[in-house]
Amino acid sequence: MGKNRECAESCIDYLALALVHHYRTQGQGPSLQAALDAVGERTGRQLAERYARDRPPLLDQLEAVKFVCKEFWGEVFRKAVDNLRTNHRGTFVLRDTQFRWLVRLAQNQMPAQVGQPLPAPLSKADLAADFLVLPCALVRGALAQLGWDVAVTADATSLPQVDFTLVIRQQPQR
Amino acid sequence: MTFYIFNRKGRCQYYHEWQRLKPVRQGAGSQEEDFKLMFGLCWSMRALATAIDPKSPSMKQMGAPMRIGDGCSFNSIKTSSFKLQFLESPSGLKASWRMPGSGGQPCWGAGCFVLTTDPSVGSMVEQLQYIYASLFVELVVKNPLYTPGEPFLFEPFSAALNKYMRALGLLS
């Protein structure tokens, strides 16, 4: 990977981490959930607009989701979604088996002070929760820009695999 | 054979010993003392090397604070019973990140990587570089749960370090 590319990608990695740490430690102002939701949605919209620029309009629900799985995911999370399932009634599950933003997540086993007991093991899903707010909002913003109002949730119980569930709420506004 | 990672302020963030024939109690007295002595040694050696450096254009007083990358650093110290290999990393990523509750002190990322080996082992600058770039940065710094400057114990890093040491043939 070229040095410029590696530098740019590292910047995104660290920015995503720093955003969560920043909002976690803020005493005042918007909560982490509210702030990262807003940032993610806006950014997702702008990115989708940029990546879909030279394509014909995506009129079909499935086409829009497939665009997110391949082109959008490739640009933002640097690989395509591995598995897409749908019930053909507005619910989609996007499975990324090696979600790049969380692939290095590991709990710190260090006790707070020497001699104190080890910290209780936490489930990876709990540890990852804050770090999934931004990705979910990005996906929501992207689909919103393409005209679909969706609710996005993420399931990280088997990290590094993450399942994103999309529920389409209404028909597109044209 | 032992391995230390110190941050720029001298706090030991990571320590592992594979083989230490003389127990810490007989040497420094306690683990804390051992860390202090080790960091003190590295810091003093670096200051000394910078002070007596015959090539450096700028004249620095010994003991004057040094910026990262300033002055010259040393690679290893060899004694009759062990060899100490040293690497100073570039500044941590969040060098100016302010930690809450610490009165606005800047918090630095890792500063020094120290490895003690058998005296017969050759130079390990490249290996320490690898440990820094491919193990520490990839597995620790990019871990969302790592707090820069703080002691850590992450299983992926420990496992990868052990595997690398074994691959180098340093562990019997």
Tell me whether residues B154 and A13 touch, CB distance under 8 A.
Answer: no
CATH number, residue A163: 3.30.1380.20
Cβ neighbours of residue B57 closer than 8 Å, sequence gap 6 or more: none
Domain coverage including residue B51: 2-93+108-167
CB-based contact, B151 to chain A, within 8 Å: yes
Would you call A108 and B93 a contact, using CB atoms and an 8 Å cutoff? no
Domain count, chain A: 1
Is the residue at B125 inside a domain? yes
Helix, strand, coil content of chain A in percent (nearest 5): 50, 15, 35
The stretch B51-76 carries a mean pLDDT of 70
Residue A1, domain member (yes or no): no
CATH number, domain containing residue B161: 3.30.450.70
Structural domains counted in chain B: 1
**Confidence band, pLDDT 50/70/90 cuts, at residue B60:** low
Q: Which are the contacts of A166, defined by CB distance < 8 A and separation ≥ 6?
A: A65, A91, A92, A93, A94, A139, A143, A150, A151, A152
Domain boundaries, position A144: 9-108+124-170
Which residues of chain A make contact with B156, given a CB cutoff of 8 A? 104, 106
Residue A42 lies inside a defined structural domain of this protein: yes
Interchain contact, B144 vs A25, CB within 8 Å: no
* pLDDT interval class at A2 (50, 70, 90): confident
Q: Does residue B99 have a pLDDT over 70?
A: no
Q: What is the pLDDT at residue B63?
A: 62
With respect to residue A30, please indicate whether it lies within any of the assigned structural domains: yes
Residue A131: predicted pLDDT: 93
Report the predicted TM-score, pTM, of the whole model to 2 decimal places. Answer: 0.82
Burial A134-144 (b: 16+ CB within 10 A, else e): bbbbbbbbbbb
Residues of chain A contacting B32 with CB distance shorter than 8 Å: 114
Report the gap between the CA of B143 and the closest CA in chain A (Å): 5
pLDDT digits (tens, 9 = 90+) for A140-163: 999 999 888 999 999 998 888 999
Residue B103 lies in a domain: no
Which among B32, B100, B155 has CB closest to A106?
Answer: B155
Please report whether residue A154 resides in a domain: yes
Most B CBs within 10 Å, among A78, A108, A122, to test the B interface: A108
Chain B residue closest in CA terms to A109: B153
B153 touching chain A per CB within 8 A: yes
Q: What is the pLDDT of residues A4-63, one digit of tens each?
A: 888 888 888 899 999 999 998 887 888 889 999 999 999 999 999 998 888 888 778 888
- Answer whether residue A86 is part of any domain: yes
